[in-house]
Amino acid sequence: MDVFPLYMPGLMILGTDTDVGKTYISTAIARQLMSEGIATGAYKPACSGSIQDGDSGDYYWNDIELLSESINQTFPSERICPQKFHAPLAPPVAARKEGRQIDHDLLWQGALWWQDQVEFLIVEGVGGVLCPLTENTLVVDFAAELKFPVLVVARAGLGTINHSLLTVEALQNRGLCVAGIILNDVDPELSDESRSSNAEQIQQWTTVPVLSFVPFEWQSNLLHHQTQDRIDWVQLALHPSRFVIKE
Ligand SMILES: Nc1ncnc2c1ncn2[C@@H]1O[C@H](COP(=O)(O)OP(=O)(O)OP(=O)(O)O)[C@@H](O)[C@H]1O
Ligand SMILES: C[C@H](N)[C@@H](CCCCCC(=O)O)NC(=O)O
Ligand SMILES: [Mg+2]
């Protein structure tokens, strides 16, 4: 199937790894946009790793629930994620365990559906950027089809310089526009002294701005790393280069 970029603005939220806080950041951005009166959609092309409810025995997918809540449960969960699998594995591997395969066209059609529904779309990736998404494509390949500017979510602690720069390089090598990096304090137990110098170090090696440092259990709007202002996500999506931090 030939694909064309969506004509609506949006951001693709990708990670340096799984469990770095892509959903946490996606939902924070969605809540801010909704509070600003911007009709916002949330889309996850595929989701793996279900949880079974102890009482009802029903299965649910945490990411889908949280994304749905962040946009006030305005849309059916099938629109937020049309392809979900039980095993906590890369989606094509999880699909195979159920005798299924990821439907590549549905990944794209699921995104396209949002175009006439909302003013802004947030798309969360799966795992890190080189995580397999179908039998023969990676998350980064889907991002390259979608062509939304990318926000990279990275863990705040030691190791993040390498992970962030590798991720930016992989995205830029495929022609993607990386709008910013968000350092997310996922786990204070991992606390170490690299936190105070990571942003500056990353900035020495890439022109992609470190946009925000998100403290552990931060519940409010994300603040700009340098100015401490609330970030204008629509402007960032429309004009990513305006946000490049000048020395
Ligand atoms: N800033 C934060 N403060 C406290 N907890 C956080 C923060 N960011 C993330 N978490 C927690 O860390 C865990 C992993 O975060 P999250 O589910 O957002 O990761 P992810 O990158 O979306 O993972 P996946 O690849 O499965 O989509 C979750 O339990 C989440 O609530
Ligand atoms: C199970 C995880 N939570 C995640 C899949 C992560 C796969 C990582 C594969 C890898 O890079 O080794 N699923 C998801 O985001 O829907
Ligand atoms: Mg997630």
Report the pLDDT value the prediction gives residue 196, as an integer from 0 to 100: 86
- Residue among 23, 33, 10 at smallest CA distance from 120: 10
- Residue among 221, 130, 117, 121 at smallest CA distance from 168: 130
Domain ranges of the chain: 10-243
Which CATH superfamily hosts domain 10-243?
P-loop containing nucleotide triphosphate hydrolases (3.40.50.300)
User: Looking at this predicted complex, what is its ipTM?
Assistant: 0.99
73-85 residue pLDDT tens: 999 999 999 999 9
Distance CA 45, CA 43 (A): 6
Pocket test for ligand 1, best of 186, 219, 221 (most atoms within 8 A of CB): 186
Scanning the structure block, which residue is given the tokens 């392809």?
83
- Whose CA is closest to atom 2 on ligand 2? 88
Handedness of CA 247, 155, 64, 177 (dihedral sign): positive
- Which ligand is located closest to the Cα atom of residue 61? 2
Pocket of ligand 2 (CB under 6 A): 18, 47-49, 63, 88, 90, 126-128, 131
Q: Is 147 a catalytic residue?
A: no
Scanning the structure block, which residue is given the tokens 């799984």?
18
- Whose CA is closest to atom 9 on ligand 2? 90
Report the pLDDT value the prediction gives residue 246, as an integer from 0 to 100: 40
| Low-confidence stretches of the chain (pLDDT beneath 50) | 244-247
- Which ligand is located closest to the Cα atom of residue 67? 3
- Whose CA is closest to atom 4 on ligand 2? 127
